[in-house]
Amino acid sequence: MLPPDFTPCFSTALPAGEPLCFAIIGDQHLVTPETGLPALAALVPLGSPEVDVLIGHLGTTPCRLIAWPDGTAAPEGLAIEGLRALYGRLGDDAFWISARARQLLSWLRDHRHCGRCGTATTVAEHEAAAICPACAHRMYPRVSPAMMVLIRRGRELLLARSPHFKPGMYSALAGFVEPGETLEACVHRETMEEVGVTITNLRWFASQSWPFPHSLMLAFHADYVAGDIVPQEGEIEDAGWFDIDALPELPGPASIARRLLDDALAELRG
C-alpha cells in the first residue's frame, strides 16, 4: 500500500528541489543498478519528457511522474524493468508510489482526446482531470473495483486457475463489479458464474490497489453452502477443493490473493 506519510496530489506545476523520480519509458520503470529510484540529473540525457507531473509528497519530498514514449533508449547507468518484477526489490514505499505513477500515466495516455467530441484534451493544473476545451467534458483517472473471495469448506479451500495464470498456479476467485451492482452481490454472482456454488457468511478482509492496469481489489472470506464445482468455460481452466496441507502453487507475495490465503491458513491451522 502507499506509505502512511505519502500524501497524494496531482499538479502540472513542478516544485523546486530534488524530487523522488518515478521515471517510466513506455510501461517500463527506470531504476539504478542497485534497484533504487534515479536522480533527476540522471534523466537529463533522455531529453524532453512526454509527461512530467507532481503526483504527491512522501513526507515533504515531492514525488514526480516523469515518462517517455516506448522505444526511448534508457540512459547509461540506468536499467528498465517491469513493475511486477520490481516488487520486493524496489522497497515497499517506492513500489506502491510507482504503482500510483503507472496508473496515472495510463490514464493520461488514454485520455489525450475527448471521448465525447474527439477534441484534444488539456490536463488541469492542480487536479487529476483531463478537460476537453471544446465541450468541457472532464475525464478522471479510472479505478475499477473487483472482488476477490476465498471460499472455505472445513479444512479445504476452493481455488481456481484462469487460463492466463502461469502453469500450476491457483488462486482465490476474482471478478469485476458490474455497473449498478453491490460488492456483496458481485461476490455471490461471480462465484456462481465461475464455479457454480453458493456461499454465505461473507467476511471483509482488506483491499489493495492493483495497477495492472487500474483495479481496486476488495477481498472477502466466505463459507461454502452447496453445489458441485462447475468451472466457467473460457474463464476458469480448472477449479477444485484443496486441503490446507496439500495446496498447489499460490500467487506471489505482492498480491492480496496471497495475503488472503495466508490469513485463512493461519486461522485454519490455529
* Residues in touch with Zn ion (CB under 5 A): 114, 116-117, 119, 132, 134-135, 137
Q: Are 105 and 65 in contact (CB under 8 A)?
A: yes
Nearer to Zn ion, 64 or 111 (CB): 111
Residue 133 CB, nearest distance to Zn ion (Å)?
Answer: 8
Nearer to Zn ion, 114 or 199 (CB): 114
The conformation of residue 78, written as its DSSP 8-state character, comes to -
Nearer to Zn ion, 46 or 114 (CB): 114
Q: Is 50 known to sit in a ligand binding site?
A: no
Q: Is 22 known to sit in a ligand binding site?
A: no
Q: List the one residue out of 81, 129, 87 whose CA is nearest residue 104.
A: 129
Q: Is 213 known to sit in a ligand binding site?
A: yes
Q: Is 162 known to sit in a ligand binding site?
A: no
Residue 5 CB, nearest distance to Zn ion (Å)?
Answer: 38
Q: How far apart are CA 29 and CA 135, in angstroms?
A: 35
CA angle 101, 174, 82 (to 5 degrees): 30
Residue with cell 524530487: 19
Q: Is 232 known to sit in a ligand binding site?
A: no
Residue 128 CB, nearest distance to Zn ion (Å)?
Answer: 18
**Helices and strands, counts by H and E, the chain:** 4, 15
Nearer to Zn ion, 133 or 248 (CB): 133
Q: List the beta strands (DSSP E) in 82-161.
A: 122-123, 130-131, 138-139, 144-153, 156-161
Q: How far apart are CA 51 and CA 128, in angstroms?
A: 13
Residue 132 CB, nearest distance to Zn ion (Å)?
Answer: 3
Residue 135 CB, nearest distance to Zn ion (Å)?
Answer: 3
Q: List the one residue out of 152, 254, 148, 144 whose CA is nearest residue 207.
A: 148
CA angle 42, 45, 48 (to 5 degrees): 110
Residue 108 CB, nearest distance to Zn ion (Å)?
Answer: 17
Q: Is 215 known to sit in a ligand binding site?
A: yes
Q: How far apart are CA 176 and CA 185, in angstroms?
A: 11
Q: Is 188 known to sit in a ligand binding site?
A: no
Q: Are 90 and 98 in contact (CB under 8 A)?
A: yes
Nearer to Zn ion, 132 or 158 (CB): 132
Nearer to Zn ion, 84 or 112 (CB): 112
Residue 122 CB, nearest distance to Zn ion (Å)?
Answer: 11
3-class secondary-structure state, position 169 = strand
What are the φ and ψ backbone dihedral angles of 253, each rounded to 5 degrees? -70, -15
Enumerate residues 6+ apart whose C-beta is below 8 A from 92: 3
Nearer to Zn ion, 120 or 225 (CB): 120
Q: Is 135 known to sit in a ligand binding site?
A: yes
Annotated binding site: 84, 114, 117, 127, 132, 135, 140, 174, 190, 194, 208-215, 235, 257
Annotated binding site for a divalent metal cation: 174, 190, 194, 235
Annotated binding site for Zn(2+): 114, 117, 132, 135
